[in-house]
Amino acid sequence: MAAEHDAVDEPLSAHHRVHGVAVILEVEEVCGGWQRIRELASHTEATVESNLATPCIRNARSLLVTALAAAHGGDDEAARRYERRAAEVESEGYDIVLAAPRTWLALLRGEIDDVDELIDAVDLPRGQTWYAIPAAAARLDALAGARDKTRAEREAPALLRPGTYLEPFALRTLGVVREDENLIHQAVERFEAMHLDWHAAKTRKLVVEA
């Protein structure tokens, strides 16, 4: 569907084309498809630059997701370049839209001293946006990274809804803060059931490292 959406957008305006590539990036982001995002990096950058006359938060977000993919690929120089450009073109008032890639970048760099300063708790019923889902996942990862047991115990259990995208993230966070390998194994199984292979592999390493 994302590819079809992009194909429909391609002959339209520059703004439409930003939305076309952004939707593909957002699908790959939730799947952990960092290699595919890196392959699209030049196209993404050119598409954003052609749309600067039209303010759109997907200009900045697409560059941030590209930065995150570069960071996962070990290219910190490219990651910081995309991140700087994102900051130059972003619009104000869209913190929740940018929260997930910003938070995951900070986690990769070990910059999680204050989780609440990094990313707010997400009120999903009031989220009113698709971006609340990856933001909630990033918040869970930040709580796990900070070993913030108090906030994790307060926030994660409510997200343990079977069969939902956030369930394995919540299981993983609780497994980390409780030092419970069974919960981490459950998270791996849930990720695998949704074919989120990158997330499953990342989670499996937590047991190996322990």
**How do the pLDDT tens digits run along the chain, 210 residues long?**
888 877 887 877 888 889 999 999 999 999 999 999 999 999 999 999 999 999 899 999 999 999 999 999 999 999 999 999 999 999 888 888 999 999 999 999 998 878 887 788 887 766 567 888 999 999 999 999 999 999 999 999 999 999 999 999 999 999 999 999 999 999 999 999 999 999 999 999 987 665
Q: Give yes or no for a contact between 106 and 116, defined as CB atoms under 8 angstroms apart.
A: no
Provide the pLDDT for residue 125: 66
Using CA atoms, how far residue 193 sits from 70, 118, 120, 126, 196, in Å, is 27, 30, 29, 28, 8
Using CA atoms, how far residue 125 sits from 14, 130, 133, 136, 151, in Å, is 33, 11, 11, 12, 19
Q: What's the DSSP call for residue 158? A: G
Residue 182: closest CA among 203, 164, 198: 203
Whole-model pTM? 0.91
Residue 62: closest CA among 106, 104, 20: 20
Residue 98: closest CA among 114, 116, 118: 118
